[in-house]
Structure 1
Amino acid sequence: MNFFRKVLASCLGTSIALILLTGLSFLFFGFLVSALGDKDKVTVKSNSVLELDLSNTIKDYVPKSDNPLDELFGKDQLQLSSVLNAIENAKYDDKIKGISIEGEFVSAGMAQTQAIRNKLVEFKETGKFITSYANLYSQKSYYLSSVADSVFVTPYGMAEFKGLSSERLFYKDFEDKYGVKMEVIRHGKYKSAVEGYLDNKMSDANREQITSFLNSIWEEILEDVGSSRNKNNDELNLIADDLLTRSSEMAVENNMIDGAIFKDQYEEKLKSLVNDDVHTISINNYISTGKGRLKSTSSNTIAIIYAQGDILYGEGDESYIGQESMIRAIRKVRDNNKIKAVVLRIDSPGGIALTADLIWRELQILKSEKPIVVSIGDVAASGGYYMACVADKIYAQPTSITGSIGVFGTIPNFSELVDRIGINAEQVATNKQSVGYSPYEPMTDDFYNVTKEGVERTYETFLKRVAEGRNMTRDAVDSIAQGRVWTGKEAIEIGLIDELGSMEDAIVAAAELAGIVDYKTSNYPRYKKDIEDSFKSFSFIKAKNDLIKKELGEENYKIYQEIQNRTQFKGIQMRLPYIIDLN
């Protein structure tokens, strides 16, 4: 009954609950099996155009599911490597004549989007066409679509092109007013995850680092868009400053859009490009035909170990990094003689220091037997970089976020609040340190000093790990540490990474280090889900978080998720200063 309570509490649907509770589950699943059997097989027809709609969430790793309902109802996630492999296969597929980029939004990180765009540049070199159409373009979708030979928008549409910004919240005045605050212990002047609790305005150091990485990413966007649209940085900055793409007419006039047409007119243009009746196939369906993989018959294998999400303590799954699943995967890779090299793909803002160190140790042992190359995705910062620094070689996209070598701890304190409303907390203990910390009493000097000692010890360990891994001195690492965030483009200049490049580049480098030419890849960790997890993944059932998201809206839901995540911040943290959300 506990399982069914959880099912109901997660809003798994009245109809499904009734089926399960009345014993009709066999009939229900029989229907599903029948539906799966009747599902039409996807084929690629001649004169096809590959539709690239990336509004579904793009993740570095979407583990293969054993749940048949995922196949029936589809997933709302795409694996980045599958998208890249599909475009690579489309280059040589005679049935694919070109690519049509469609959709207003791109649900991918900046580094992921840049990797897809770079792959589209390669696609164009084959002589096949790329076109794009949207009712309106968000800035990220325009960045991706600008690679096209022709970019079209609906007559009453627009293209967002305004530059980048980042907003931080500060809580000091709120804390003073209501008597609820966060006690902060940190090392690193840039470790600004906690700055909002200490002041009511941004520090000069934090403003410096945000300005630096925003400019670095914006320069990449300007370079790529300028190359495709034949414009220099000054021209593009003028367009952004004056919002000269805020209408379709202005976007066309400033040569950022090639035409303002309706969708049926765009479809006629696709027919003329193919010179025949055009067939379209979505990226999801193209991947389902097997085009999301690069085939190889080699017995040599390169393992790709995905470290994705916050670093927490425990088992871990595709949404967060836990030491148990990671260590299990690392040991399997180490013991497999067919695996000749490893690519560690990291997309993590960091998290619990203990977990990061346990994983680091297993990677160090693995490195003694097999070469390891790190590929940084959107972010490998703080604890994420802690794991990365063990590698033989580190790759990152220019727009990747990394560094943030710093440590902090935060503890909520309500002592002023409870004092104001007349609540008194009393403790009884056997020893001086038995009580430790109480959120209802002011933090004692003893507790602060002990915790500060732990933070400093963790920071020094962090410096040592990076110094050993990157062949630098402790002081050299400290000079670029202090919690500062860097883009991949900046990181290569200060020695935190070795090369700018994609995961494909990292795989090639791993093969070279292993001395192999022919190889295939294999993904790790491999997660097993029980029946309860399978029910949670049904895409036609609205779970609790889906309902919350609908009620709160996209932006407020992000805040809700951040609050949920912070409840899991236990122990000393090696974490990115904040969620980097580019506007």
Structure 2
Amino acid sequence: MKKRPILLATLTIFGIFLVFLLLAVVLGKNWSTPDIVSLGEKIGVIEVNGPITASDGLIKNLIDFRDNKSIKAVILRIDSPGGAVGPSQEIYSEVVKLQKIKPVVVSMGSVAASGGYYIAAPAKRLFANPGTITGSIGVIMSFPNYEGLMEKVGVSSTVVKSGRFKDIGSNSRPFTPDERILMQALIDDVYSQFVEAVSLGRDIPANKVREIADGRIFSGRQALAVGLIDELGGFQDALAYTAKLTGLEDDPTLIYPEVEQPGLVERILKSALGEIGFEAGHHWTVGPQYLWTGM
């Protein structure tokens, strides 16, 4: 009989814990900005801010707006120096699919360079401010070499590998001549994919794209002169063009994607590690980059 009060107390505490856990899950799902509810036709706005390190969220937004029949066109507002090749290519592919169904208009903010330009290329019309930084068509990979530092502190590295290229890019030694040739071939191939994407999206011969695709950056005004954008102007100019294009000229309704709030575990990690520390670990990327490193 003495065990029953202890068992009852344990079950009560466990029940309270489950209630709080359920509340945390429910609130985690509901602490988000709801979609703009309105009748009639709309223009969708999707924002791309910061380095491109992942594609899941943007792809979801592009697909949702593509399938939403009330959205007649989408403005892609880009303020990004680019980022990882894989996510940039995945976003590019979804922009191509969306463009086949409804118009996509790009509005460039302060910077839409490298991967930021890559995802813009297939849009129907590209707007940039006169001082927007864009272009930077190219690929980059960086490999730190700590060999000198390791020698100074008396640290060495022993590698056992299955093939001579298995530890290519090791930070404890320089590249061999064969490794450099191999890596350059990789970069050249990924670079060709970038050139092809710009050529198809902008309807410019590939050889003409290569003339300006040496990694250089352009101002918006310079980009207009070489055909990388269509028109100078800010977001309101892009909106006016899109509204006229879709016949929604009288104060069109804009709809933005729902803002997804972090789940319970993610909020706890952010609280413990801090926003910067969490994001640095969460979005760590490797490999070739469609990235302008000047930011």
TM over 0.5: yes
The superposition leaves residues 231-269 of structure 1 with CA deviations (integer Å, 9 ceiling, x where unpaired) of xxxxxxxxxxxxxxxxxxxxxxxxxxxxxxxxxxxxxxx
RMSD (CA atoms): 2.9
Match of 2:290 in 1: 574
CA distance in 2 between counterparts of 1:350 and 1:439 reads 25
TM-score, normalising length from structure 1?
0.42
Query: What is the match of residue 507 of structure 1?
Result: 239
1:487 aligns with 2:219: yes
Query: Residue 81 of structure 1 aligns with which residue?
Result: none
Give the Cα–Cα distance (whole angstroms) in 1 for the partners of residues 237 and 231 of structure 2. 9
Give the Å deviation of 1:569.
4.4
Higher relative contact order (CA 8 A, sep 6+): 2
1:417 paired to 2:149: yes
Q: Call closer, same or farther: CA 1:375–1:300 in 2, change over 3 Å.
A: same
3-state SS, counterpart of residue 89 of structure 2: helix
Q: 1:345 corresponds to which letter in structure 2?
A: R
Deviation at 1:544, TM superposition (A): 4.3
SS in 2 for 1:406: coil
Q: Secondary structure at 1:368's aligned position in 2?
A: helix
Residues 493 and 344 from structure 1, CA distance in 2 versus in 1: closer, same or farther, beyond 3 angstroms? same
1:277-327, Cα deviation, whole Å (9 max, x unpaired): xxxxxxxxxxxxxxxxxx996510111011111011xxxxxxxxx211111
8 Å contact from structure 1 (residues 406, 481) kept in 2: yes
Give the Å deviation of 1:356.
0.4
Aligned to 2:31: 66
Q: What are the Cα deviations for residues 80-138 of structure 1, in whole angstroms up to 9, with x where unaligned? A: xxxxxxxxxxxxxxxxxxxxxxxxxxxxxxxxxxxxxxxxxxxxxxxxxxxxxxxxxxx
- One-letter code aligned to 1:576: W
Question: Residues 543 and 444 of structure 1: is their aligned pair in 2 closer, same or farther, counting only changes over 3 Å?
Answer: closer
- Structure 2 counterpart of 1:299, from 33, 40, 49: 40
Aligned-residue offset at 1:510: 1.9
Find runs of 4+ consecutive structure 1 residues off by over 4 angstroms. Answer: 295-298, 532-537, 541-546
- Against the structure 1 CA distance between its residues 536 and 500, is the aligned structure 2 distance closer, same or farther, given a 3 Å change threshold? farther
Bigger CA radius of gyration: 1
Aligned residues, how many?
A: 263
Could you say if the C-alpha distance between residues 490 and 464 of structure 1 is closer, same or farther in structure 2, counting changes exceeding 3 Å?
A: same
Is 1:456 the equivalent of 2:188?
A: yes
Query: Does structure 1 residue 310 correspond to structure 2 residue 51?
Result: yes
1:387 equivalent to 2:112? Answer no
Given the alignment, which residue of 303, 309, 329 partners 2:61?
Answer: 329
5+ residue gaps, structure 1: 1-22, 27-64, 69-294, 313-321, 549-560
- Aligned counterparts of 2:177 and 2:165: Cα–Cα separation in 1: 12
Counterpart of 1:376 in structure 2 is 108
Contact 1:325 1:525 in 2 (8 A): no
Please state whether the residue corresponding to 1:337 is helix, strand or coil. coil
- What residue number does 2:85 align with? 353
Taking the TM superposition and a 5 Å limit, the aligned residue runs for 1:196-345 are 299-312=40-53, 322-345=54-77
Identity of aligned residues (%): 32
Pick from 250, 255, 273 the counterpart of residue 522 of structure 1.
255
2:14 paired residue number: none
**Which residue, 185, 206, 213 being the options, matches 1:474?**
206
- Contact 1:404 1:577 (C-alpha < 8 Å) held by counterparts: no
